[in-house]
Structure 1
């Protein structure tokens, strides 16, 4: 039996994910593996997932050590595939939980959101042909000759915003791909050059961003794990923490957000939940499920709040793409930070089924067992921050979405009913939205519809 050497790269694990951190290897060099046998556990910004083997054979190399962050498309494992029949390469493996794209499924393919696909890395093959390049600006000192490298619009915009000429940046990604981290290192090097000089009063040293990394990403110091923090320690984020930091930074930098809020009388909503609980044959629905149903109904009336901003090749916002279906995200606190699982096609679910999906997804988020597609494809997020005991909040939008509803703590508060002040159970509601996709009137209309449904849950049937 002959063997064929197969190199398997880190696959594209989901929308907007450009890399993953190796958590632990499940096989070693010399082990024999079968098709679909788990090889390695990796952590992305959204979840942990086991990557299966696309080949049967002997493991020759395991690339990446625990704690190292690999970009999508980087070599992951080399396998000597058993090839008794001389057949060609096996078809690309399907990740656990992956779904085929169809005309009815929501597809978010704004090129500004997916770095790897633009240059042909990930699990979809070759890069698209590049269009004619514009005439380059005069290159600064130290710049390489030739056109500006092909990069994603987000990376190009990041470089432009910080005055970085991409011809001066050497990429550390596969085949020299310039990524966000390369540009940020160049920004830091430029700032250091502007505020100081090199050793012995000479010129500043060449930016470290031009040299590829020589080893795995640094791990958190032992003090971080033990809870002891000497004054000089740096508490390093794990891969998911770094990715989350980038995501909230993108949200704050790129989205011109505004917030409107009001308070709704939720007494009737709580009564409805109690009545449902007292009905043996009735569905088990809670407050979160009913408010989620209200959000779905309101998005049907105000679809702009579920749209996404579309960018041109330079990263400039040029329009919006309405949602093809409603993917409702549920902000969920876990031991690894906030995770947002997505209820796909939520408008097609009954209220009882919606509640079951929310319960399943939030439990999976806490356990870290969700598949990548269950954490992507959302168009709007519901954030029930009231479970933390907070009354009000102005949450950051879950980039690249354009709106998020925050629900505060439902509690007994004074409520004016005509000329009388009475105690009522009220719910603070806040809607944070991207001001590029709609004006305040649209946002206020959405929030008013949700508030009226909270006050009089029976009216919800009018909008289903």
Structure 2
């Protein structure tokens, strides 16, 4: 007799408490192998494929695409074990058990892995749908509650919460999902229909309602006074960015200083580099300049522990850079940037940028930064006052590099000019340190040979 094991949404690290189901990779009845990815989820950090630690047959899925699940909530159930009849799963040769050749009645065990890439390397098997012997219909899709008494056909805790918030009786809803499963769309449709139903016969509704419910229309009317318009949930990447930026403004007493710099010589040096070897981006050169500046002004590569009332200076420079994607703003991190030259930094920036565009960044790629470089010049703007990427201590903003009138060697000339902005945590340093850092960066931009002193 197969044993049904429940696989819960694992802790994906970095303190994440929930994830949105983007796409199911398996269906009920599919055979899965140990560590085979079964669902793609979006956390506040990145898109992640979640592997299942058990091998067997999927008997139920919990949660709909587009819905959110908290960490520790049931994700799916898998039937593992052996069964003799032809066409059903076996315990060996198919990857259908938690371990090859597992004995009947033995304690099932999975790989224990959480993220793809750290698994046992078991090859994925071709999907095939079967119903294991002795198993009833999937628990996640019971008969519609509106047809017969019993458990309500809802598997998502978010759907239940949404119904509770709007005083909806789920037993009176007919689900549009498989076997009458009530989806989030069903609840939202019912919510939208409540005001419409009330407005069709207000007199009859008022006359038949008990006096204790006479205040309900007023409550509904009050709710409708909220500003009209499209409402977009702050969740996923957008929600994480909103939380981090709001926390930065609340906790960090930031200040900003800026300077215009003549980048003509930097652009000429880049052209010379690219003519002699692999192309180096402007962002890579600026990143290398930042690491040299942080070596001179380590106060800006730090964080503040207010509980201990201490400034923590960090030995490594994990350089974040802002990248705009279809999913919103993300900040990938170049690890140990202080050990890399411009070419190495550029290659890593290119790799992380491509991963950001395809949505394949991992949580590790997006966390642990100590200083951020923000090139908003790509949007065609000159300046900005960046918000510090909490819990870091500073961010360098770079505007567009454009030809402008400039006094060069005592004469008016057209030069390539860029505005540099430094936002810093005033707790870690004063204006003298921040100004020294920014001036050094500007000097390296104007005279790249200055950087040779620190190489």
TM-score normalised by the chain length of structure 1: 0.67
**Which of 275, 289, 306 pairs up with 1:278?**
275
1:439 aligns with 2:440: no
- Deviations 1:364-409 (Å, cap 9, x if unpaired)? 1011122221111211111100011100001111222221110001
* RMSD (Å) for aligned C-alpha atoms: 3.2
Distance 1:9 1:401, change over 3 A: farther
- Deviations 1:295-346 (Å, cap 9, x if unpaired)? 112222222222222253xxxx722332242111110111111111111111
Partner of 2:246: 249
Partner of 2:139: none
- Deviations 1:107-146 (Å, cap 9, x if unpaired)? xxxxxxxxxxxxxxxxxxxxxxxxxxxxxxxxxxxxxxxx
Partner of 1:381: 372
1:371 aligns with 2:362: yes
CA distance in 2, matches of 1:416, 1:218: 63
Distance 1:218 1:452, change over 3 A: farther
Partner SS, residue 259 of structure 2: strand
1:52 aligns with 2:51: yes
CA distance in 1, matches of 2:424, 2:450: 25
Structure number with the bigger relative contact order (C-alpha 8 A, sep ≥ 6) is 1
Partner SS, residue 428 of structure 1: strand
Q: Is contact 2:238–2:329 with CA below 8 Å preserved after alignment?
A: no
Note the C-alpha offset of 1:3.
Answer: 4.0
Note the C-alpha offset of 1:45.
Answer: 2.5
Partner of 2:14: 15
1:38 aligns with 2:32: no
CA distance in 2, matches of 1:301, 1:53: 48
1:459 aligns with 2:450: yes
How many correspondences in the alignment? 343
1:299 aligns with 2:294: yes
TM-score normalised by the chain length of structure 2: 0.68
Give unpaired runs (5+ residues) of structure 2. Answer: 81-96, 120-156, 172-181, 190-226
Q: Is contact 1:327–1:342 with CA below 8 Å preserved after alignment?
A: yes
Partner SS, residue 405 of structure 2: strand
Partner of 1:262: 259
Give unpaired runs (5+ residues) of structure 1. Answer: 100-175, 177-181, 183-206, 223-230
Q: Is contact 2:35–2:111 with CA below 8 Å preserved after alignment?
A: no
CA distance in 1, matches of 2:286, 2:263: 11
Q: Return 284-293 or 6-15, whichever deviates more.
A: 6-15
Partner of 1:309: 304
Partner of 1:120: none
Q: Is contact 1:299–1:306 with CA below 8 Å preserved after alignment?
A: yes
**Which of 393, 404, 415 pairs up with 1:424?**
415
CA distance in 2, matches of 1:302, 1:393: 22
